[in-house]
Amino acid sequence: MLATRLMAVGDIRTLEVPKPVPGPGDLLVQVEAAGICGTDRHLFRGEFPSSPGTTLGHEFSGIIVDGATAELPLGTRVTCDPNHWCGHCDQCRRGRVNLCTGNIATGLGRDGGFAEYCAFPAMRAHKLPDTLNALHGAFCEPLACTLHGMDMGAAKPGERILIIGGGVIGLLAVQLAHLAGGEVMLLTRNTSKQQLGKSLGADIAVGTDAQMRAHWPDGADLVVECAGVAATVTMAPGLARTGGRVVVLGVLPSGEQVNIEPFDLLFREVQMHFSFLNPFTHERAARLIAEEKIVVAPLVSRTISLHEAAGAIASPAPDGEVRAIIVPHR
């Protein structure tokens, strides 16, 4: 079968590999759709830890073709929660499974979904409806991560919620903030993403922090940084109102640093949180997408084949792109 593998930093290839054989407790799925995440580009550039020779792809869904169980019969469409924690370490015992020291993530530590077939633990599978658009299952993982960050932010009805970044995480966060009953502003320089954000629930869309301040001079109750850029992480605390909250969802390259003024955070008692992975949120994400309470169709910018995958990951995302989806069997 074909698979797209990261052989080493800066070396990604689509090549013929053996079809995986599911081990005990594993499912084998025929991959229908897999999203290219910013993390995949970080992996390619060596800015995020990975295992050389691994098939990438941690945002995917597919149809069970082997390893079926009574709860997950053959032909069931499922989404993969890529994170498989150990259950025994101190963090797992504390319920902080996203911080598990032995986590083996599908698409990072074991072969993932940029392939025609993928094997992963059945306990990490979540059912999706047969009627769901095959492309939409690939959004469950990023939505699950966004849910964790929004849970941390604890948005309340009537609060002013600023979402920084118009990528897939930002546009999912816009929808969750809207569902929470907030007054939602999207901050992104890209005008097409501003319009998309407004169609998905943003009350206001702006391109600069100065424009944000013109609307909300006192700042936002909750600021959610989704861009993963040093400049926006640095900016975020200053856009929170006194007594406000900041959640950083964006992923910066390993080793990158930002300037933050602790005195300002202290004097204004601004809470700052960092959100990592998707602890116990994947099932909720699958249900929100299955019930179309979160809209993902407009987030599909293009679909590509596995033959095009390596080039797409090795290149910056085109301007205005939200999510490219790999369709392995087209």
302: domain CATH number is 3.90.180.10
Supply the pLDDT for residue 5: 98
Q: What is the pLDDT of residue 49?
A: 83
| Residue 205, domain member (yes or no) | yes
- Stretch 277-289: mean pLDDT: 98
21 contacts: CB under 8 Å, gap ≥ 6 = 28, 119
Q: Tell whether 151 and 80 lie within a shared domain.
A: no
Percent of the chain with pLDDT strictly greater than 90? 97
Strands 54-55 and 117-121: unpaired
Question: Which domain range does residue 40 map to?
Answer: 2-131+296-326
Instruction: Give every CB contact of residue 200 below 8 A, 6+ residues apart in sequence.
Output: 171, 174, 175, 178, 295, 298
**CATH code, 164:** 3.40.50.720
Average pLDDT rounded to a whole number, residues 52-58:
97
Provide mean pLDDT across the span 310-316: 97
Can you tell me the mean pLDDT for 169-193? 98
Contacts of 231 (CB under 8 A, 6+ apart): none
- For residue 95, tell me if it sits in a domain: yes
Q: Do 240 and 267 belong together in one domain?
A: yes
At residue 56, the pLDDT reads 98
pLDDT interval class at 33 (50, 70, 90): very high
Mean pLDDT (whole number) for 21-33: 97
Q: What's the pLDDT at 330?
A: 82
Number of domains in the chain: 2
* Shared-domain flag, residues 260 and 152: yes
Which amino acid makes up residue 220?
Answer: A
Residues 251, 38: Cα–Cα separation, whole Å = 8
pLDDT level of residue 112 (50, 70, 90 thresholds):
very high
Q: Are 264 and 59 in contact (CB under 8 A)?
A: no
User: Tens digits of per-residue pLDDT, 79-99?
Assistant: 999 999 999 999 999 999 999
In a domain, 18, yes or no: yes
Residue whose structure tokens are 């301040």: 213
Q: 288 in a domain, yes or no?
A: no
Q: Does the pLDDT value for residue 50 go beyond 90?
A: no
In order, the DSSP letters of 33-84 are EEE--HHHHHHHTTSS---TTEE---SEEEEEEES--SSS-TT-EEEE--EE
Looking at residue 178, its pLDDT comes to: 98
Do 126 and 183 fall within a single domain? no
* Residue 164: band (very low, low, confident or very high) from pLDDT cuts 50, 70, 90: very high
> Which three-class secondary structure state does DSSP give residue 240?
strand
Q: What is the pLDDT of residue 181?
A: 98
**Domain-embedded: residue 15:** yes
Whether the CB-CB separation of 161 and 177 falls below 8 Å is answered with: yes
Predicted pLDDT of residue 51: 86
| Residue 311 and residue 265 share a domain | no
Check residue 170 and give its pLDDT: 98
Averaged pLDDT, 107-120? 97
Q: How many CA atoms lie within 13 A of 103 on its CB side?
A: 23
pLDDT at 277 over 90: yes
Residue 287: the pLDDT is 98
Within this chain, do residues 71 and 166 fall inside the same structural domain, yes or no? Answer: no
Assess if residue 283 is contained within a domain. Answer: no
In contact, 204 and 174? CB cutoff 8 Å: no
Tens digit of each residue's pLDDT (9 = 90 or more) over 245-262: 999 999 998 899 999 999
Say whether pLDDT at 157 is over 90: yes
**Mean per-residue pLDDT over the chain, rounded:** 97
Residue 295: pLDDT band by 50, 70, 90 thresholds?
very high
